[in-house]
Structure 1
Amino acid sequence: MAFLCRLLARLLHDHKGNVLAIVGAGLVPLTIMIGSGVDLSRAYMAKSKMQSACDAASLAARRVMKNDSLNDTVRNTGQEFFTFNFPQGQYGAQAFTPVITKPEAGVIRVNASTAIPTAIMRLFGFETLPVAVSCDASLNFVNTDIVLVLDVTGSMNDPVDGTRKIEALQDAVMALYDELAPIQTQLTAQGLRLRYGVVPYSSTVNVGRLVYAQNPNYMRKNTTVPSRVARFDDYAPKPPTLSGGQWEYYSGSISNNQCQNYVNADDVPGGGPPPTATTAVKYQGTSSSDAYVQSENWGYTGASDRSGSNQSCRRWRVLETTTYDTSKRQFSSWTYQQTEYDVTDYLKTNGKLTFATDGTGRTSTPGPFNLKDLAAAVTGGSVADMTWNGCIEERDTVTSIDGGTSMTIPSGANDLNIDLIPNSDATRWRPMVPNLIYTRNAGTTSGTSTSIGTTSGSIMNNSYSSGYWACPSEARRLAVWSRSALDTYVKGLETVGGTYHDIGMIWGARLISTGGIFGDSCDVYNGMPCNRHVIFMTDGDQTAYCNVYGSYGVERNDMRVKGATNCTSDDQGNSVTAQLRARHEQRFRMACNAAKNMNTSVWVIGFDTALNSNLTGCASSPGQADTAANRTALIAKFREIGNQIGALRLTQ
């Protein structure tokens, strides 16, 4: 026992070999710490990779989801994207299947969980480490304004693959609405908004009622148009009186034909000029018959010569006297010229403009009358009423825009100054007055009906060669639409007129602008930004006609686009139509540029037509200009645009 105590005492004081024991004891926790770092690092890398795969899967699944419906296509797409970015077995992960759900409207959620095998920690009983990810993809919470600029010209009534193009367009617009309906619901719940405006266009646009409702002073109270003026300078005649009826005898004998000519001789005028009484010696067959009566006029009973080929001849002679009412005047002639009309009452709600339709009736004063003034002054004449359909003529412009590539809008081109507030007649719009429009020879300031001949006439005859006018359906300002309201509106779109892209784009820019006469769009609403889009759809190229009454009047007489040499070939014999088209195309390019400069995204669709450089150049990017060959393709294109406008994003 004493020996053992002495041994322990020596060991207690001997430090040789202690380090080895300490190191041996420390290896265990050190191994656990290093192994945990290695295995946890692998698990972290796996989770990071899975999270990226989850994000990609949720975005892809949300992008293909239509009508807010979660179906096999959506699930399969999400799973394919997840597997592509995180293949099964990567990092040794156990097999798993991502779970794709729709927790709320417009949101796709992806959940995935697996386990990663450990390399070192399994020595201590930890064989796997759990890895789980979750992500949502939804539509961006930003205010969205969309203006649809829609070609509704006559060709939109033509069928493509058995469906009228206008019907295909109606279906496509509603497909766009359905694609964005979930985001509209989300935005509304957040106190934000998604709105639509619509500009149907052809040779003009129907925006006048919108302008007038915003401010009546934005419309002209007087307008000057190619029309006609009636001159009522002649004194009105009273019913003529007859006197001095008697037989007048031909000296000698003549043939039957010669006697007939003798009886039917022209009247012999006399007296006057009005208002002094005028007379006319008139000849007729008998006192009771204007016509030649052979038995009474040639070889008549009691005549001196009643046999042979030549016989006696006589006629009935009467004196017609006409006196005049000095207080009444009658029509004398038409003059075709630029004519001013007061349209104050015409512009008002339920207003009208009464106009004379011909030169009948009497006036109490002499002088020229435009058709409106004549209707008020004439008694016994033919008149009619015209009500405003809402279509407009553009405000003043310049003729120096002759093509080229410049995007600089010249001074005085008020039509292209999108945000200009009207402050003078030059900056105000005119109402269309189709019933008052009469054309005349190009380049002439005025003409009579005789000199004008067949080239004069009312624009109402609806012929492109001699005059045409069209008024599309009324445009709509930006507003939140219900599905039924938008469906009713687009199904009421009418197809009429020719293709003038410039006027459509000008008003598309005005309706999407944050300034100007409407200022309907926004940069920020309820604390959140606003995205602006214009979707421009057409089924044809720009047209231009000298005789169409549209947004720039009648070019052959108003000469607002091409100027004084319009509608006649130039010295080089170039086509006037080509020159006019080039000018309208340049205006279109300027309007597109103005819209894009307002931070607006422009999309262009060619329906059953190729896109030329003007149309593709109008889009904000090459990827935002495309074509659709038929109804199915058009619907798909509108859905695609709606999907991209939705601006997918990750929410967690």
Structure 2
Amino acid sequence: MCRQFLRRLVNDEGGNVLPLFAMGIFPLIGLVGGAMDISIAYMARSKLQKACDAGVLAGRQSMSGIQFGSSEKGQAKEFFDFNYPAGLYNAKKLKFDVVQNSSAVSELKGTASADIPTSLMRVFGFSEISVAVTCNAKKDLGHNDIVMVLDVTGSMNDAPSTGGGSKISKLRTGASGLFRALDTNDGSTTRYGIVPYSHTVNVGRSLQNRDILVEQQYVDGYFYQSRGRTYFANNGLKTVHINQSSWNIGNGGGNSGGNRQGFRTSGNACIEERASDGYDTNPIEYSDTVTLQDVDGTPANGNDSAKQFGRYDPGVQNGHTQDGCPSEATTLREYDNETAFNNAVSAATARVTGGTYHDIGMLWGLRFVSRNGFFASDNPEKRGQYPVNQHIVFMTDGKLDTGPSLYSAYGVDWLTDRMQGSGTQTEKHIKRFESICTLAKSMKVTVWVIALDVTDVNSVKKCATSDSHFHTSDGSDLEEVFESIGRGIGNLRLTE
């Protein structure tokens, strides 16, 4: 009986569960707790990486050229803090630092780190998990062609609503912000074209002789007074040969004769726009929309009159009471330094005159940058192995205004009625302007728009590639606006 009791005692397993559980609980805590704490640390690291990326991108975006100082560093820190708020995941010793890469000054390098407290793993002596990330940001090595289409109409001589100097003087100094923001030494090339516009453009020097008409039609007639009122006796159209032209009148003296070469290089080679593709050329007609052929079509030879431009000649054109020729436009070219760029802008904006025809300015801006038109040989898709990005920066201080008896690139509207389509003359030109903007974007040209001291921006805002490409300025911040556009041009990307 005693032996049976002892045998049952030896074989009895009751009560062993507790010590076995006690022995197994610690590995279980380590397994579950480790998974939880590591998961939290992983999420913290992921958030830290995103914040680091945001920080260096913001810092690089705020740089003008290759200038990186306390302001840009502060911008980077602000974006890091926004994306990783203090206390997130109970992080301790949260650090973020960003510096300029000494061997590639167009690049920023960032580091971020934090200690993430543990919960269950603390039992095993692991009170925190350290996480750290790195991040870099730079602008891709790419080239930029930028055509600035600048309003130089009469109102630009006025002061903006905020007071101070004239709007044109603010433009001359403010445009330097664009150059400064893109002035890097990373091997990329940035070229600038400048198209000053009012009611016409001065582009003859940029063209070839064969692009200019030898004979063209002008309004014939005269104004006269009767019973205290002014009338115009319209005698129809007259054909004028170029050697009978007086295209210097109003801008430094007359010229009783000449040829296409003389006209183009006169400094006063403003043009009358050619007829729209497929429309009548005698008399000239314009569509209220613009096609790719209107932009890129070039004359086959010196006799291809349908694709040639007329001479803007107030001396032989009758029926107008207002005229004027802006300063010469310049095609895409590099500038060695900011002073050379500023001098070019000042020269292009020296003549401030006339009414506001956005469509003629935008049309020639697009012609200057197009890869398939008049300047195709100078506008490649790539330089070396890197692409050339194309941009138009369009700046105006007002709404499109055709004027009742203004002599523009489209003739004297009130007499010749060349513009086809429905609506008023102004509405037709607005439609034409919007058509050019749409065409530019379809050609992969990025369009930036600056409305300078403009209250009604609807007609020009649509032209911009997106809302982020549209800017307003009261005049006092115009340089900052140009600089902001410069920072936005190019391909900003993370390198790690």
Structure 2 length-normalised TM: 0.77
Secondary structure at 2:92 match in 1 = coil
Q: Does residue 100 of the first structure (1) align with residue 98 of the second (2)? A: yes
Match of 2:345 in 1: 490
Contact 1:401/1:586 (<8 A) preserved: no
C-alpha separation between the residues in 1 aligned to 2:255 and 2:452?
A: 42
Q: What's the CA shift string for 1:572-598, capped at 9, x where partnerless?
A: xxxxxx933233223222222221221
Match of 1:574 in 2: none
Match of 1:276 in 2: none
C-alpha separation between the residues in 2 aligned to 1:68 and 1:163?
A: 30
C-alpha separation between the residues in 2 aligned to 1:42 and 1:555?
A: 72
Shift of 1:387: 4.4
In the alignment, residue 391 of structure 1 is paired with which amino acid? C
Match of 1:204 in 2: 200
Q: Does residue 429 of the first structure (1) align with residue 429 of the second (2)? A: no
Match of 1:319 in 2: none
Closer, same or farther: CA 596–80 of 1 in aligned 2, 3 Å: closer
Contact 1:336/1:439 (<8 A) preserved: no
Secondary structure at 1:132 match in 2 = strand
Match of 1:133 in 2: 133
1:445-594 counterparts in 2 under 5 A? 466-482=320-336, 483-492=338-347, 493-494=349-350, 495-519=352-376, 520-545=378-403, 547-555=405-413, 559-561=417-419, 579-594=424-439
Closer, same or farther: CA 222–639 of 1 in aligned 2, 3 Å: same
Match of 1:181 in 2: 183
Match of 1:419 in 2: 296
Closer, same or farther: CA 36–337 of 1 in aligned 2, 3 Å: closer
Match of 1:649 in 2: 493
Secondary structure at 1:615 match in 2 = helix
In the alignment, residue 366 of structure 2 is paired with which amino acid? A
Structure 1 length-normalised TM: 0.60
Shift of 1:637: 2.3
C-alpha separation between the residues in 1 aligned to 2:196 and 2:258?
A: 31
Match of 2:275 in 1: 396
In the alignment, residue 537 of structure 1 is paired with which amino acid? M
Match of 1:40 in 2: 38
C-alpha separation between the residues in 1 aligned to 2:363 and 2:151?
A: 13
Match of 2:171 in 1: 169
C-alpha separation between the residues in 2 aligned to 1:65 and 1:605?
A: 21
Q: What's the CA shift string for 1:104-142, capped at 9, x where partnerless?
A: 433333212233344455555544332111112222443
Q: What's the CA shift string for 1:593-628, capped at 9, x where partnerless?
A: 221221222222221222353222222234433432
* Between 25-34 and 421-430, the greater mean CA deviation after superposition: 25-34
Match of 2:238 in 1: 338
Match of 1:88 in 2: 86
Closer, same or farther: CA 171–111 of 1 in aligned 2, 3 Å: same
Contact 2:246/2:313 (<8 A) preserved: no
C-alpha separation between the residues in 2 aligned to 1:562 and 1:41?
A: 68
C-alpha separation between the residues in 2 aligned to 1:625 and 1:536?
A: 10
Contact 2:290/2:432 (<8 A) preserved: no
Contact 2:218/2:318 (<8 A) preserved: no
Shift of 1:343: 4.8
Match of 1:567 in 2: none
Q: Does residue 70 of the first structure (1) align with residue 59 of the second (2)? A: no
C-alpha separation between the residues in 1 aligned to 2:182 and 2:391?
A: 13
Give aligned-pair identity as a percent: 34
C-alpha separation between the residues in 2 aligned to 1:506 and 1:177?
A: 23
Match of 2:214 in 1: 221
Closer, same or farther: CA 181–37 of 1 in aligned 2, 3 Å: same
Closer, same or farther: CA 408–498 of 1 in aligned 2, 3 Å: closer
C-alpha separation between the residues in 2 aligned to 1:421 and 1:40?
A: 67
C-alpha separation between the residues in 2 aligned to 1:208 and 1:532?
A: 23
C-alpha separation between the residues in 1 aligned to 2:353 and 2:42?
A: 65
Contact 1:336/1:438 (<8 A) preserved: no
In the alignment, residue 463 of structure 2 is paired with which amino acid? C
C-alpha separation between the residues in 1 aligned to 2:485 and 2:375?
A: 26
Contact 1:149/1:504 (<8 A) preserved: yes
Contact 1:222/1:343 (<8 A) preserved: no
How many pairs align?
444
Shift of 1:491: 1.7
Contact 1:222/1:344 (<8 A) preserved: no
Contact 1:116/1:131 (<8 A) preserved: yes
Secondary structure at 1:543 match in 2 = coil
Q: Does residue 145 of the first structure (1) align with residue 2 of the second (2)? A: no
1:584-623 counterparts in 2 under 5 A? 584-623=429-468
Shift of 1:163: 0.8
C-alpha separation between the residues in 2 aligned to 1:372 and 1:145?
A: 35
Q: What's the CA shift string for 1:521-561, capped at 9, x where partnerless?
A: 45444334443221211112222245433312344565533
Structure 1 unmatched runs, 5+: 1-13, 229-334, 348-352, 357-370, 374-385, 441-465, 564-577
C-alpha separation between the residues in 1 aligned to 2:397 and 2:137?
A: 36
Closer, same or farther: CA 168–24 of 1 in aligned 2, 3 Å: same
Closer, same or farther: CA 613–123 of 1 in aligned 2, 3 Å: closer
Contact 1:116/1:130 (<8 A) preserved: yes
Secondary structure at 1:96 match in 2 = strand
Shift of 1:646: 4.0
C-alpha separation between the residues in 1 aligned to 2:114 and 2:237?
A: 86
Contact 1:611/1:627 (<8 A) preserved: no
Contact 1:346/1:387 (<8 A) preserved: no
C-alpha separation between the residues in 1 aligned to 2:148 and 2:341?
A: 12
Closer, same or farther: CA 552–343 of 1 in aligned 2, 3 Å: farther
Shift of 1:514: 1.8
Closer, same or farther: CA 91–613 of 1 in aligned 2, 3 Å: closer
Contact 1:439/1:557 (<8 A) preserved: no
1:231-310 counterparts in 2 under 5 A? none
Closer, same or farther: CA 354–633 of 1 in aligned 2, 3 Å: closer
Structure 2 unmatched runs, 5+: 1-9, 222-234, 248-252, 260-264
Shift of 1:46: 2.0
Contact 2:216/2:240 (<8 A) preserved: yes
Closer, same or farther: CA 637–582 of 1 in aligned 2, 3 Å: same
Secondary structure at 2:449 match in 1 = strand
Shift of 1:429: 1.4
* Between 120-129 and 606-615, the greater mean CA deviation after superposition: 120-129
The counterpart of 2:53, out of the listed 48, 55, 58, is: 55
In the alignment, residue 173 of structure 1 is paired with which amino acid? A
Contact 2:290/2:436 (<8 A) preserved: no
Contact 1:50/1:133 (<8 A) preserved: yes
Q: What's the CA shift string for 1:491-518, capped at 9, x where partnerless?
A: 2222122221111011011112121111
Shift of 1:227: 6.2
Highest Rg: 1 or 2? 1
In the alignment, residue 594 of structure 1 is paired with which amino acid? L
Shift of 1:338: 0.5
Q: What's the CA shift string for 1:414-473, capped at 9, x where partnerless?
A: 9x71111223201111233444x1526xxxxxxxxxxxxxxxxxxxxxxxxx53332211
Secondary structure at 2:182 match in 1 = helix
Closer, same or farther: CA 38–627 of 1 in aligned 2, 3 Å: closer
Contact 2:391/2:445 (<8 A) preserved: yes
C-alpha separation between the residues in 1 aligned to 2:244 and 2:358?
A: 30
Shift of 1:83: 2.9
Secondary structure at 1:171 match in 2 = helix
